[in-house]
Each structure stands twice: as structure tokens, then as C-alpha cells.
Amino acid sequence: MSDIERFSKRILDYRNARDWKQFHTPKDMAISLVLEATEVLEHFQWKNEEDIENYLKDNKDKLGEELADVFYWVLLMCHDLGLDIEAVFEKKMEKNEAKYPVEKFRGKSDKYNKL
Amino acid sequence: MSDIERFSKRILDYRNARDWKQFHTPKDMAISLVLEATEVLEHFQWKNEEDIENYLKDNKDKLGEELADVFYWVLLMCHDLGLDIEAVFEKKMEKNEAKYPVEKFRGKSDKYNKL
Amino acid sequence: MSDIERFSKRILDYRNARDWKQFHTPKDMAISLVLEATEVLEHFQWKNEEDIENYLKDNKDKLGEELADVFYWVLLMCHDLGLDIEAVFEKKMEKNEAKYPVEKFRGKSDKYNKL
Amino acid sequence: MSDIERFSKRILDYRNARDWKQFHTPKDMAISLVLEATEVLEHFQWKNEEDIENYLKDNKDKLGEELADVFYWVLLMCHDLGLDIEAVFEKKMEKNEAKYPVEKFRGKSDKYNKL
């Protein structure tokens, strides 16, 4: 069993034990994904780089928990939609490589300065 | 090498080849995480359950790509912050189990009806 | 004094009394705007249309407060960036009218079924 | 007619001409509110304070348009839910004043350093 299969099984066992699948429409799961992602962001609000460095010394675990929540919804959405995260991830990485060729984008912030 | 290590290596090789680490502050990565999560949500906007079922027949791959982007930022943030996603995920699942005991929450939407 | 000027003055007096302008970088205010908008969305999570109708009977005021928070950041960002919300709003409405001509979009969900 | 009434009428006339009310469930409007707020945030991604200062010289109008979109959904949601934005805004400001008394929070970043 791969890591991903094992994580997904962990999530499904948790959900099945509680009989919560009935609440998990794709739209509501996508809302959850966004809400959990904003909880990650909230940790960095009103802080400059130095504040963040200090903050992370004592709060890394809290941040890890928020990231775990995002991870949870990614895996559960993939499962329910019949998507193989490993395959879609590899496919997307190849698209990214084609879109941002090394010779053109190396050390360039172009991607990062335009909308 | 575990799946997660392999995915993380894939991301780091991609980033290193482009020398993009210099742009990846924790705050900006967290913003990316949110923006990619909202791209997932955007697919479900203005659609009821039937619309979504039809939509997914032809657009599952597009959705998979957006989920891959969220997955990318979760793994990269974990890497840069020195967090072991496997460990934080397991820890969070145990917290969830303690917070929502089966006997009390089985088939109940309580969790889902309150803020 | 227009309504908007009056609301903006209310916000500025509140902020000045607390000397908080020093924390309000455009980037952090934009993060606040997103976080407050997601608090609005959170009220609708895990609810179908009937649930929402019932929910709104008792919780409309709470929702109003979250919308007020979003309103607050829109006005404050406009103030700090030197934008006249009345002018930018009118300009955007004219753009929308040109983009979605009545004869073509009347009663059509086209806009709403495509990304 | 107050400014707010005038803006709301502008939005309603626009919507009625296109017969779009049928698509505007509270949940989907809340999703729109979030998506438009993230479009504001996107302008600040991957930029430090100096980058943002330079960026705003040439792109303030674009940002104004995104803020106008957020403003649009705040007013339309308030209208459809039967909320008086002026009243809820004033009520929230009074709550904020009680929560953050001047003598305790003046010049303090306390509010801003904790989750």
C-alpha cells in the first residue's frame, strides 16, 4: 500500500465510523478546502518576515495542524471524485515544466511580478 | 524513499532548477495556498448538485490539476518549515478522533450545523 | 458629506484613536479582506438551500456583522490607496454592462456555467 | 436617496435587466464574495513593500476594480438578505469599540500578534 493509499484509508475509516459521507458534497468539500487554507494564512497576518521567524519558533506545530487539514481535504476530494492524486500531480508538474522552461525562468521573478 | 519524500523531491528539483526559493516566503506561500484552493472552489460556483454531476463528467481532469496545485503548496510549505506532513497529519487525525467521538457524532450533522 | 465619506470617517476615527495605521500595509489589509469574506462563507457551509433558509431566520444579524467587516476593509483599503469607491464602482458597473449585454445574456446562465 | 440606496439600485437594475436573480443563492453569492476578495489579494502576491509601492503607481485602477467587485457582492447580499448595511456597520463598529478600548489597545499590536 502506498503512503497516499494509507493516508486516504485513514481518512475514510475516520469518516465511515462517523457516517459523515452524506454531508460531503463536492461543493462543500471545496468550501472546506478554502476555509482550511485561510486558517493557514491567518497565522501570517499582520506579521513581517522577522515577526514570522520568531512566531514559527513556538507555533510550528499549530501551523502543521492547519496544513494537515488542507491535506485531508485534498486527499478526500481526490478519493470521492475518483482522481488519482499521484497521477494528477505528476501531470501538473509536467505542465508546469513546459510552461516555465528553465532557460527562460531561471532566477527570474517574471512569473511573480505579473498577474 | 516514501511517496511523500518522492513528491517533495520532485517539487524541490523543479524549484531548484529555476532558482525560485528566493521568492518563497512563508507568507507568500500561504497566499498561494489560498489562491489555489479558491481555484478549486471556482469550479463549483453557480452550480447545483445536478449541474456539478454533469460538469464533473467532462472536467474532472481540470479539477485534478487545481487540487494538485494545492497539494504542491502543502508539501512545499511543510518542507520549508521543517514539518513532517506524515507526522502532523497523524497527530491531527488523533485530535479529530478525540474531538468527535464516534458514539456522540455518528450520523450527526451537529458539527456541520454550527459555526 | 456623502454616506461613504461618513462611513470612512467613522473607520478612520476608530483607527486613529488606536494608532493602528502603522500595522495596515496594503498586503495585510488584503489578507484581512479575504479572511473576513471567508467568515461570511463559513455560515453557509454544510447547508443546503432549506437549511440556509432556516438558518437565516435566527442568524441574519451574525451574517450582517461579517458583511460589515468586509465592508470595513473595502472602505479602508480604498481610503489608504487613494481610490474613490464611488468612481471605481461606477466604472466597473459600466465595464460589466459592456461585457454582458442584456440582449445576449438575459436569463442565460452562460456566464455562470463556464470558468 | 442615500448613496447606499443609489448603489444598490444601480446593482439591482443591472441584475434585473439580465434576469440573473434566479442564480443568486446566498451560498453562491458568498462564494463570489470570497473569490473577488482573493482577486484583490492576488495583486500583492510575491511582492515586498517596495514592490507593492511601485506596482500601485501603475495598477491602482485595476485594484480599484477588484475592490468594486467585492463592494458589489456586499451590497447585493445585504439587499437579498434584508440587511441594512448602514445599521449593521454601525452596530459592528460599536462592538469593535467595546472589544478594543482605546486606553488598552492604543499603539499596541496585541490584537495583531495573536490568533
C-alpha cell at D99: 472589544
Please state, for a pLDDT cut of 70, what percent of chain A lies above it.
Answer: 94
Sign of the torsion formed by the C-alpha atoms of B16, B20, B22 and B23: negative
C-alpha cell at C54: 432556516
Q: Tell the residue number behind the cell numbers 499603539, with chain if given.
A: D107
Contact state of B26 with A18 under an 8 Å Cβ cutoff: no
- Could you tell me the CA-to-CA distances from C86 to C8, C90, C92, C93 in Å, in that order? 12, 6, 10, 11
The model's pLDDT over B21-75, given as tens digits with 9 standing for 90+, comes to 999 999 999 999 999 999 999 999 999 999 999 999 999 999 999 999 999 999 9
Q: Is C35 an 8 Å CB contact of chain A?
A: yes
> Would you say A70 and B70 are in contact if contact means Cβ atoms under 8 Å apart?
yes
Q: Which of residues 92-111 of C touch D (CB under 8 A)?
A: 92-93, 95-97, 100, 102, 105-107, 109
**Check: complex ipTM more than 0.85:** yes
C-alpha cell at A31: 468550501
Burial category of B21 from C-beta neighbours within 10 Å (exposed 0-12, middle 13-18, buried 19 and up): exposed
pLDDT surpassing 60 at residue A115: no
Of A62, C31, D115, give the one whose Cα is nearest residue B33: C31
C-alpha cell at B19: 532558482
Contact state of C41 with A23 under an 8 Å Cβ cutoff: no
Of C23, C28, C45, the CB nearest to A28: C45
The model's pLDDT over C58-90, given as tens digits with 9 standing for 90+, comes to 999 999 999 999 999 999 999 999 999 999 999
CA atoms within 13 A on the CB side of C16: 7
The model's pLDDT over A68-113, given as tens digits with 9 standing for 90+, comes to 999 999 999 999 999 999 999 999 999 999 999 999 999 886 665 4
User: What's the farthest any 2 CA atoms get from each other in chain A?
Assistant: 51
Burial category of C94 from C-beta neighbours within 10 Å (exposed 0-12, middle 13-18, buried 19 and up): exposed
Residue D84 phi/psi, 5-degree rounding, is -90, 105
Q: What is the pTM of this model?
A: 0.95
Mean pLDDT in residue range D97-115: 77
CA D53, CA C35: separation in Å to the nearest integer? 23
